[in-house]
Amino acid sequence: MPHAAPTTHPHLPAADEGLLSAVAAGEARLTPEQGLELLTNAPLHLLGRWADARCKTLHGEALRTYVIDRNINYTNVCTAKCTFCAFRRDAGDHDAYTLDHEHLLDKIAELEAIGGTQILMQGGMNPDLPLSWYLDLLHAIKTRFPRMHVHGFSPPEFIEFVHFFNPPGATLADQVRWVMVQLREAGLDSLPGGGGEIFSDPVRRKIGLGKCDAEAWLTTMYVAHELGMFTSATMMFGHIEGHADRIHHMRLVREWQDRALSREAGENGLGCYKAFISWPFQREHTPLGRVKDWGSLETDTGRFPGDVVANLEGDGERHAHPEFGRRIRMAGATEYLRTQAVSRLMLDNVYSIGSSWVTMGPHVGQLALFYGANDMGSVMMEENVVSSAGTTYCLDEAVLCRLIRDAGFLPAQRDNAYDILRIHDGPESPDRKVTDWSRHRAQRLHAESARDDKAAELVITAASRPADTVA
């Protein structure tokens, strides 16, 4: 049946019970104005109630999922200079690295040994790597691990591939397609949504120096969808943006998803955004993190500069406030849960909403399951980008399963297509096999420390080391 977007009811107040009930049932769509009203003014419990209802309509009441994958950040050399990034390095820096293929394959072997099903492979945008480096790598991965799903290379990386490799094509989409087809034939399965940040141009130009604009980001994903690939979309908030920027960002994802879903399925099926994940900016060790918080000076009066500038079209006048881009408004747990809940309600055409325990910690991540999230994301064998910015939560499969079970759901391992691989309802479930949780956590932390030491050695040898926000 052709995709048809639900009907909007712009005359109704955003918090109208009938409207929200219809949104939860998939029978009505929020307007951007209603989304903004909810994000700004609705009580937290109301947002949670309706986001949870929408989640249950789509995913039922029994299962909540996770995936076993590994973030592999193949290089930290990057031509961009995003001000929120603590991960990037210039090529000549003493701790710049690019992983060689053997090292990368060893990491995948470790993942396979614990039952992992996919790698999330992203890097900085490194101009020294030729296209053959990527093709050889993908061939090698699929030769040695034919069932391993490769979720790799976010839109900013693709746009830089176009700049670096100058592929044939009359339009940017043609050039991206040319590269993507080659990578796909070599083994690339799907695209992660890294580099989404905030689409609004005034914000993006301030924080994403040297990174592609929203149009290029969305076009790259549309090309992937045309090729029948699944992708995810992301949003990083809680910095200089206004609330309207967040809603504008969600609106664009929703509109481009409508376009993807309205197409006829190609020979490889119908590609689309399968998931949306949002998280707050992590400030440690980042240039943007050194900016003062709004409200910390006596002269900070009136509305937050990001809100003065932002509009629902994403083209706010950045000179409307002299402090725009010079003050940040960090998002804590409540703001995170509000934003995620509104994303579940706004994005009526996106199947999965992921909890960001990596940035928010395990217990807020668990709470997110009642604010629209159906998925706890990944067991974290390795993470290098958010941890560069000072956040170092790491959970194994047993802990993730326990968090889901303690929230009242059955934990289930999924694959990249969100098909269920295993439902953990028996005594052999990873969490039920743990008899001493204190010891389990201690052993795990010890293992993490050992791995950190090893990683530090690799950095010093300069040619090695490993992000989701990357690129």
Judged by the rule CB under 6 A, the positions of this chain that interact with ligand SF4 are: 78, 80-82, 85, 87-88, 124-125, 156, 211, 469-471
Q: Is 234 helix (H, G, I), strand (E, B) or coil?
A: strand
Judged by beta carbon, residue 67 or residue 212, the one nearer ligand SF4 is 212
- Is the separation of the CB atoms in 189 and 199 below 8 Å? no
CA distances from 276 to 174, 230, 236, 317 (A): 26, 12, 11, 28
Judged by beta carbon, residue 80 or residue 240, the one nearer ligand SF4 is 80
DSSP 49-86: HHHHHHHHHHH-SSEEEEEEEEEEE-B-B-S-EETT-S
Q: How far is the CB of 124 from ligand SF4 (least distance, A)?
A: 4
Q: How far is the CB of 83 from ligand SF4 (least distance, A)?
A: 9
Q: How far is the CB of 78 from ligand SF4 (least distance, A)?
A: 3
Judged by beta carbon, residue 73 or residue 349, the one nearer ligand SF4 is 73
Q: Provide the 10 A C-beta neighbour count for residue 419.
A: 8
CA distances from 193 to 94, 151, 158, 265, 430 (A): 29, 10, 12, 22, 29
Q: Which residues lie across from 235 on neighbouring strands?
A: 278
Q: Provide the 10 A C-beta neighbour count for residue 32.
A: 19
DSSP 269-291: B--EEEEEEEEE---TT-TGGGS
Judged by beta carbon, residue 366 or residue 469, the one nearer ligand SF4 is 469
Q: How far is the CB of 239 from ligand SF4 (least distance, A)?
A: 13
Q: Is 352 helix (H, G, I), strand (E, B) or coil?
A: strand
Q: How far is the CB of 469 from ligand SF4 (least distance, A)?
A: 6
Judged by beta carbon, residue 97 or residue 304, the one nearer ligand SF4 is 97
Q: How far is the CB of 154 from ligand SF4 (least distance, A)?
A: 8
> Would you say the C-alpha torsion 243, 209, 221, 56 has a positive or negative sign?
negative
For residue 322, what is the enclosing H or E element?
Answer: none
Q: How far is the CB of 10 from ligand SF4 (least distance, A)?
A: 37
Task: Quickly tell me which residue has 């399963």 as its tokens.
Answer: 401
Q: How far is the CB of 458 from ligand SF4 (least distance, A)?
A: 18
Judged by beta carbon, residue 124 or residue 466, the one nearer ligand SF4 is 124
Judged by beta carbon, residue 116 or residue 280, the one nearer ligand SF4 is 280
420-423 and 410-414 as β-strands: parallel, antiparallel, unpaired?
antiparallel
Judged by beta carbon, residue 34 or residue 391, the one nearer ligand SF4 is 391
DSSP 286-354: -TGGGSEETTSSTT--SS-HHHHH--TTS---GGGSTTTTTEE----HHHHHHHHHHHHHH-TT--EEE
Instruction: State phi, psi for 196 to the nearest 5 degrees.
Output: -70, -45
Q: How far is the CB of 157 from ligand SF4 (least distance, A)?
A: 8
| Distance from the Cα of residue 318 to its chain's centroid | 26
For residue 413, what is the enclosing H or E element?
Answer: strand 410-414
Task: Quickly tell me which residue has 């939860």 as its tokens.
Answer: 24
Q: How far is the CB of 137 from ligand SF4 (least distance, A)?
A: 18
| Distance from the Cα of residue 186 to its chain's centroid | 24
Judged by beta carbon, residue 35 or residue 124, the one nearer ligand SF4 is 124
Structure tokens given for 359 = 């940035």
Judged by beta carbon, residue 52 or residue 197, the one nearer ligand SF4 is 197
Q: Is 178 helix (H, G, I), strand (E, B) or coil?
A: helix
Judged by beta carbon, residue 66 or residue 74, the one nearer ligand SF4 is 74
- DSSP designation for 382: -
Q: Which residues lie across from 89 on neighbouring strands?
A: 77
Judged by beta carbon, residue 78 or residue 369, the one nearer ligand SF4 is 78
For residue 245, what is the enclosing H or E element?
Answer: helix 243-262
Q: How far is the CB of 291 from ligand SF4 (least distance, A)?
A: 17
Q: How far is the CB of 156 from ligand SF4 (least distance, A)?
A: 5
CA-wise closest residue to 276 among 180, 345, 367: 345
Q: Which residues lie across from 190 on neighbouring strands?
A: 151
